[in-house]
Copies of this chain bind each other. A is one copy, B any other.
């Protein structure tokens, strides 16, 4: 991976980072790297996620999915970190030939019904993922899917793969019905577990090369060093942190590839849930190039000076020629390619932000392939963990979501929770 932070320097951008300040920051990066390395060596919770490219066993995943390897579609039932990594990997590798991957990561009744009616349940694999084994949305959806398969005369036991912890209701259910079960990596929170069964099962069912995804992760792991000037992941994490400190409280993640649209969503969870605590944290805004040039660029270039824009692209891709045209005004497009147009827009947008003094960072992969997506996911995780060290927050927890979980459970009659009482006491000022 290649990171170019030239347009984040104070010589170009406001907010921006001076070269001297970057040198000073690098001393903190060295310390943080020591802390991260120690955490990895001790397999500490969270830090151990950076060992996944080594510790994940691709053969175990391949063996677990073997009974459903002939599926014509894969339905992942999970939410948050139990869905976004899988969506990111499978979409990045989608070449149009593999089985389709669908994700049921919401409890919208109308959407769930329409989706289940549109699928051929008899040739579909179901990939159920919950770390705790108790996630309400995931288990409610799984119960609905199971019932639909029963109703269609399909034996759901033969088409289901489970990824969960070593105890909990989903583990018990899998054991009862003798389902293939993969274990969530014990050392990694959901959002840091893409490079494990949590993120790789659908790709394995689809016949993608998951060993190559892990190899990309290993390449990234080998690139971690104690200086941001030598390590792309740390360069990104340190610069994003330093820009936030200087006012860039929003990080607009702008990949120029349709295959990276879920990556932006995965990144948004990683960044928000890991760093958003104690009143700190940079707000991720997920976007897509070139599309969002026609939506968000006006704000990025001329709105408040509170944004870092992160542009991501692959340097090589398969092209598609634009035909010659009989339209005079567009003759310049004829004979060039969609890829050249996309690249021109990438570079033009980057330059247009710099010309307006708006900080931006360029991230480039060689190719958007199995190694490339493994590398990108790992490097962003390492960048996030580094940023967490620099902010001084607890990167691997998400305590603020518990309040709402208790309130929802109370509202549904799942026990007595004082949070549920607060819901009824809402302050109202209604206009209708």
Contact = CB atoms under 8 A, between A and B. Distances in A.
Contact of A299 (B283, B348, B415): B283
The 7 closest A-B pairs by CB, nearest first: A276-B299, A80-B294, A96-B114, A109-B320, A276-B303, A332-B414, A348-B407
A273 B285 contact: no
Interface in A227-245: 228-232, 235
Given A272-B296, A276-B298, A279-B302, A291 B144 contact: no
A95 B114 contact: yes
Interface string A87-114: 0000000111000000001111111111
B431 A290 contact: no
A323 B144 contact: yes
Interface in A114-164: 114, 117-118, 134, 136-137, 139-141, 143-144, 146-147
Contacts of A37: none
B6 A412 contact: no
A303 B316 CA distance: 38
A280 to B, nearest CB: 7
Given A106-B258, A348-B404, A427-B12, A295 B320 contact: no
B94 A114 contact: yes
19 contacts: A4-B430, A96-B114, A106-B342, A109-B338, A109-B342, A144-B320, A144-B323, A147-B323, A169-B330, A250-B250, A250-B283, A272-B295, A280-B303, A283-B303, A332-B415, A344-B407, A347-B407, A352-B403, A354-B427
A25 interface: no
Contacts of A79: 290-291, 294
Given A268-B295, A277-B298, 6 more contacts: A109-B318, A235-B431, A276-B299, A279-B304, A301-B401, A356-B400
B431 A228 contact: yes
Interface in A29-83: 79-81
A136 B351 contact: no
Interface in A266-310: 268-269, 272-273, 275-281, 283-286, 288-291, 293-307
Interface string A402-431: 011101110111110001101100111111
